Amino acid sequence: MEIDISNNNIELEDVNKASGDNTEKEFMPTGIPITSFEYNVKNEEEEEAFTIFQQKYVYKRNFVVTGLFTIVSVMFAVSIIKNPTGYVNWVLCFVSLVMIFTTWFNTFRVKKYLMRALKSLEDDKYRFSLYDDCFKIETVFTEEEKAAEDFVPVKPRVVRFEDISLNIIENARLFIIILRKETIYVLSKRVIEENDQTLLRNKLKEVLGEDYEIKG
C-alpha cells in the first residue's frame, strides 16, 4: 500500500498498482538483494509517519499562510478600531481569520481521514527488497488469495535511485520513505531485524547523502 498525497488528494493504493512513470513500472531488478524482509504497518505507525511528513513539508507552508493572513487581519483590525462602521473592514478581517482556520483545519482533517482509511489495511503484509540501484515493494498474498478464481497477479512497485526524487526520514521506530514529496511508504522497525536495519540504513545513506535524515 502506498499513500499518494499529490495535488492535496489522498489515494490509497496497493503497492503493486501504484502510479509511476513507465521506467519505474518496466524496470525489474536483477541479482541478489542486499536485504529483503516482510513487514506490516500498524495504524498508529502510519499516523506517526504522516505527522512527521506534515511537519516537514506541510506545516512550513501553513505557518507562512498563517503569518500572512495574521498580518492582513491585524491591518483590518486597526482599520476597524479607527472606523468601526466600516463594513468592508469587518468582512475582510473575518475572511482572513477564516483562511487561517481553514488552513489548519484541512491539515488535520486530511490526517483524520487517512488514518480511518488505513485502519482496514493493518493486517496486509508486504515485502521490501533493497538492491544496489533500486528497491522493490510488493504485496504478500496468502495461499487462499492466490487460489481465488478472481486473483490476478500484478507487478510490484520498483523505484530506481537514479530516476526519482527520494527522501528518507528515520526515527526510533520507523523508516519513512518519501517519493517526490508526494508518496509515502512506512517501514516499521518493530518487524525488521537489526541486521536488516543496518543494511538498509547504510545503503540509503550512501545513495541519498543529505536527503537521509535521522530524527532523535
Tens of pLDDT, residues 137-146: 988 888 887 8
pLDDT band (50, 70, 90) for residue 64: very high
Q: Give phi and psi for 133, each to the nearest 5.
A: -120, 5
**Rounded-to-integer distance, Cα 81 and Cα 85, Å:** 9
pTM: 0.74
pLDDT band (50, 70, 90) for residue 155: confident
Q: In what order do the strands lie in the sheet with 35-39?
A: 35-39, 125-130, 134-140, 157-160
pLDDT band (50, 70, 90) for residue 148: confident
- Domain 2-41+122-214 sits in CATH at 2.30.29.30
CA 41, 185, 200, 20 dihedral sign is: positive
Burial of 147 (0-12, 13-18, 19+ CB in 10 A): exposed
Q: Domain boundaries in the chain?
A: 2-41+122-214, 61-118
